A and B are shown apart, each in its own frame.
Chain A
Amino acid sequence: MGRDGAAGLVCLAGSLVLLWATLHLSKAPLVPIGPAFYPRILLSVSAGLSVLLIASDFLRRRRPAAREARYRLVVLTFLIFGGYVFLLSPLGYRVSTFLFTLILQAVIEPPRGGKGWLRVLAVALAATAVTYYAFEIYLFVLLPRGWATGF
């Protein structure tokens, strides 16, 4: 199976799970059409299209060669970003944003020597301070405070 077939299978599974979930939706008491009416039509179409994608993958004689790519940095960035998102609530915007910009810069392009680290530190501080003041002070967006740090 090629990657189209795999993608089709994932879409089919997603559509079927959601279709199954519509079976448990209650009927609306006041209107003839319940909340499951439209999702069922949509998810049936989605499942049908997924089956077509799987079939077309099986019927394809020649599959395009997968391009070689390096995912180390991509995975790391997703992990760091995920950490940032989940640390926003306990650490607060200022601490987590500072750490995020500091770490991500260092991972994307490891700093060389003291000057490099100084630049990374300065950018992290500036990005945190500028966005905090611009949004919280001038745009009245109350950015998250950390329940663990109180900051």
Chain B
Amino acid sequence: MFSQLLTSLAEVAQLKFMIPLVIGTWTGLIGGAIPGVTITMTIILVLPFTFGLDPLQGLAAMTGVYVGGCAGGLVTAVLLGIPGTPAAIATTFDGFPMARKGEPGRAIWLGTWASFFGGLLGAIFLVGLTLPLARFALRFGPWEFFSLFIFALSMVAGLTEQSLLKGFISGTIGLAITVIGSDPIMGAPRLDFGSEFLSGGFQFLPVLIGVFAFAQIMTDLEKAGDGRRLEAQAAPDLSVSHPAVVWEILKRPFLLVWSTLVGILIGVLPAIGSSAANVMAYDQAKKISKHPEKFGTGIPEGVIAAESSNNANVAGSLVTIMAFGIPGDAVTAVMLGAMIIHGIQPGPLFITQQPRVSYGIFAAYILAHPVMMVLQWLSARFYLRIVTVPKAILFPVVLVLCVVGAFALNNTVDNVYALLIFGVLGYLMVKFGFPLAPLILGVILGDEIEKNLIRAIMTDPDPWLFLTRPISGVLLALSVGSIALALWQHRRTQARLAGVEPEAEADF
């Protein structure tokens, strides 16, 4: 196995494969850094250019886009407080406060190095555990998936700082957004009040961008309305000691490995994707931390957990596509399409029958990480300057990018209207003290929770099966445990803060 991997590493390291890999990774970094331009959109853009290439060259380019996109999303998350991709949602929680405290360079590089280590650790698991993990994933029926999504949703409790009740309400608002439009099983129109605009439901991306972009920009504009000028950050600390940043990550080996594992496991399971993986890893990091109350204030643990998990998630998604030919998310669905176009059919025999291509993908995934580091290093000095751009220029440009990103999703102005609606909603929620992260988690998981609940009941109406099926039962027990632990941590934090007025800052 490892000799084949070494052979593939040597093959992919040739210029013939490295050029598409570098171009793909660079495209992914840029696409990931633009709010609204998803990794899926970027990989679709790259796809036609791979048709004329050798299959492995094309797949190397697409693997590069995937890895680069995951790392690129952290740039806007850290510098603007707006996740560049859904995979960087949790990166905003601590990365942005860290940048605001005058350490944008440290925040970016903590995220980048965490992506690097998470990705490489993911590669080890990818090579060693592809088949066992994929076999485990095959044991998941609708009961197990439903319970898994409930477990993911239980993270709402851990993502809420001030009022758990508001956190749960925020989560249910997110879930309620997904029931508008049509039901996911039969496609019957539902809760659209006869409106054509509502009949299509709301896509995830305009909700995500609207909520985060407006909550952040409007909160900043309040300060300008106060008579203060909205100046750019004065002389931000762009210098970074890379050994110090690497040590900050490596001295937390358990956090790194655990977040990586969360990312891989979520990646292996179809339909959840990196958007939930980074939030779940962040929540786990908070739960195992000795100082959970510091999460959200700009601490390295939050950035490390989010970024290592989202890159490891790529490894998990590749496991599923290669072992079973089942795409774990939209990005791997495009990769699967590319494989089929090239006459390659992934499945249980893919690794043994096509070792050159399968191990070539492993190799491309591994090599994409150092390539991503070099490209990030080359471009960091330029984009870190974003924090020095006057807000009067930055805000209109960011809003235009949000509009284009929402529009480009399927070339319809309806998504831009949705962006405005959710921008207003996000801002109002922040003003009324509702956290935004549970809302986003609700939107991510809503459809899948409903689909699997209905499928399970239609297969067997016995509700006890959710508890008596071993994996499902364990996941539901973990959900209860997760909420109980979050409640305990919440009470402990509240007791510590007793007598201190809650801060009026936005609670993301």
Contact = CB atoms under 8 A, between A and B. Distances in A.
Interface of A: 3-4, 6-8, 11, 14-15, 18, 21-22, 25-26, 28, 30-39, 42-43, 45-46, 49-50, 52-53, 56, 64-65, 67, 69-74, 77-78, 81-82, 84-85, 88-89, 97, 100-101, 104-105, 108-109, 123-124, 127-128, 131, 135, 139-144
A11 B218 contact: no
A101 to B, nearest CB: 4
Nearest to B412: A144
A69 B221 CA distance: 10
A28 B454 CA distance: 12
B224 A131 contact: no
B420 A81 contact: yes
A120 to B, nearest CB: 8
A35 B186 CA distance: 8
Contact of B188 (A4, A28, A84): A28
B183 interface: yes
Contacts of A88: 403, 407, 413, 416
Contacts of A104: 395-396, 399
Nearest to B449: A38
Nearest to A139: B45
B392 A105 contact: yes
A135 B404 contact: yes
B286 interface: no
25 contacts: A11-B169, A15-B176, A18-B176, A25-B188, A35-B188, A38-B449, A45-B172, A46-B172, A53-B165, A56-B165, A69-B226, A70-B225, A73-B221, A74-B221, A81-B420, A84-B399, A88-B403, A100-B399, A101-B397, A105-B392, A105-B393, A109-B390, A127-B400, A135-B404, A144-B407
A26 B188 contact: yes
B383 to A, nearest CB: 15
B502 interface: yes
Nearest to A42: B175
Contacts of B183: 35, 38
Given A31-B185, A39-B179, A143 B404 contact: yes
B190 interface: yes
A26 B163 CA distance: 38
B407 A141 contact: yes
Given A25-B191, A77-B217, A85-B413, 14 more contacts: A18-B179, A22-B191, A25-B190, A31-B458, A33-B457, A49-B169, A52-B165, A84-B403, A88-B416, A100-B400, A109-B390, A123-B396, A139-B408, A142-B411
B186 A30 contact: yes
A55 to B, nearest CB: 10
A15 B419 CA distance: 22
Interface of B: 37, 45, 163, 165-166, 168-169, 172-173, 175-176, 179, 182-183, 185-186, 188, 190-191, 193, 217-218, 221-222, 224-227, 229-230, 390-393, 395-397, 399-401, 403-404, 407-408, 411, 413, 416-417, 419-420, 423-424, 427, 432-434, 449-450, 453-454, 457-458, 461, 501-502, 504
A10 B229 CA distance: 34
A101 B168 contact: no
Given A35-B186, A73-B225, A141-B411, A108 B165 contact: no
Given A49-B165, A69-B222, A109-B392, A21 B193 contact: yes
Contact of A39 (B45, B190, B229): B190
Interface majority SS (helix, strand, loop, mixed), chain B? helix
A85 B222 contact: no
Residue from A6, A15, A77 having most chain B Cβ neighbours under 10 A: A77
User: Which 8 pairs across A and B sit closest by C-beta, in order of nearness?
Assistant: A70-B225, A109-B392, A35-B183, A73-B225, A67-B504, A46-B172, A108-B392, A104-B396
Contacts of B173: 11, 46
B230 A131 contact: no
B225 A53 contact: no
B188 to A, nearest CB: 4
B397 A74 contact: no
B169 A46 contact: yes
A70 B222 contact: yes
Given A7-B432, A25-B188, A85-B416, A131 B400 contact: yes
Contacts of B434: 7
A35 B183 CA distance: 6
A144 B176 contact: no
A11 to B, nearest CB: 6
A45 B403 CA distance: 34
B395 A33 contact: no
A100 B396 contact: yes
A64 B432 CA distance: 12
B222 A71 contact: yes
Contacts of A81: 399, 420, 423
Contacts of B172: 42, 45-46, 49
Contact of A18 (B182, B191, B413): B191
A70 to B, nearest CB: 3
Given A21-B191, A100-B400, A108-B224, A85 B417 contact: yes
Given A53-B166, A108-B224, A109-B392, A135 B408 contact: yes
B225 A43 contact: no
Nearest to A119: B393
A39 B192 CA distance: 13
Nearest to B30: A134
B11 to A, nearest CB: 31
B224 to A, nearest CB: 5
B179 A42 contact: yes
A89 to B, nearest CB: 6
Nearest to A21: B191
Contacts of A139: 37, 45, 408
A69 B431 CA distance: 10
Contacts of A8: 169
Contacts of B424: 78
